[in-house]
């Protein structure tokens, strides 16, 4: 198999270092009313790495709110990703313990096409139901 990328960055999408506050919700009925906080570490067109004090699980669906306006890269995020109530919907793809007791969490932004997947649809229904109360 050929390697299409060279140099230190081997990812398809470049990640930009970006450390800013982040608010998020875990899209489950038992946690949806809680807004948690963390901060972004880096961001790309298809996801981000963030550092959170509270543990989340791989495959959890998150609603993420962070300042996307200052990043040019986020124009692509806005165009391709699922945006709800001024936040981006993402799926946790990895969780690593950080030495300071927090968690480094990799999140893949969900696309509009993924909106009909069963776990995503359920999570969006939780968000919509909570917002309508």
Q: Beta partners for 39?
A: 21, 51
Domain ranges for the chain: 16-131
Which residues lie below 8 Å from residue 124, measured CB to CB, with a gap of 6+?
Answer: 27, 82, 84, 89, 115
Hey, is 122 helix, strand or coil?
helix
Q: Enter the pTM of the model.
A: 0.78
Q: Work out the average pLDDT over 92-106.
A: 95
Which residues lie below 8 Å from residue 67, measured CB to CB, with a gap of 6+?
Answer: 20
Inform me whether the pLDDT recorded for 9 exceeds 80.
no
Judge contact between 76 and 45, C-beta under 8 A.
yes
Give the C-alpha separation, 95 to 49, whole Å. 10
Residues 39-81 have pLDDT tens digits of 999 988 788 999 999 999 999 999 998 876 655 556 666 677 7
Q: Which fold has domain 16-131?
A: Thrombin, subunit H (2.40.10)
When pLDDT is cut at 50, 70 and 90, the band that residue 106 belongs to is very high
Inform me whether the pLDDT recorded for 90 exceeds 50.
yes
How large a percentage of the chain has pLDDT more than 70?
74
Which residues lie below 8 Å from residue 28, measured CB to CB, with a gap of 6+?
Answer: 60, 123, 126
């Amino acid at each position: 198999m050929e390697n299409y990328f060279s140099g230190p960055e081997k990812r398809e999408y470049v990640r930009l270092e970006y450390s800013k506050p982040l608010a998020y919700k875990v899209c489950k009925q038992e946690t949806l009313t809680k807004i948690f906080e963390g901060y972004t570490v880096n961001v790309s067109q298809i996801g981000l790495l963030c550092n959170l004090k509270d543990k989340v699980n791989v495959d959890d669906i998150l609603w993420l709110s962070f300042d996307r306006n200052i990043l040019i890269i986020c124009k692509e995020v806005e165009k391709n990703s699922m945006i709800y109530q001024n936040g981006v919907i993402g799926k946790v793809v990895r969780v690593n313990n950080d030495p300071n007791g927090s968690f480094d969490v990799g999140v893949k932004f969900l696309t509009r096409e993924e909106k009909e997947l069963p776990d995503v649809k359920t999570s969006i229904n939780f968000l919509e139901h909570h917002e309508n109360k």
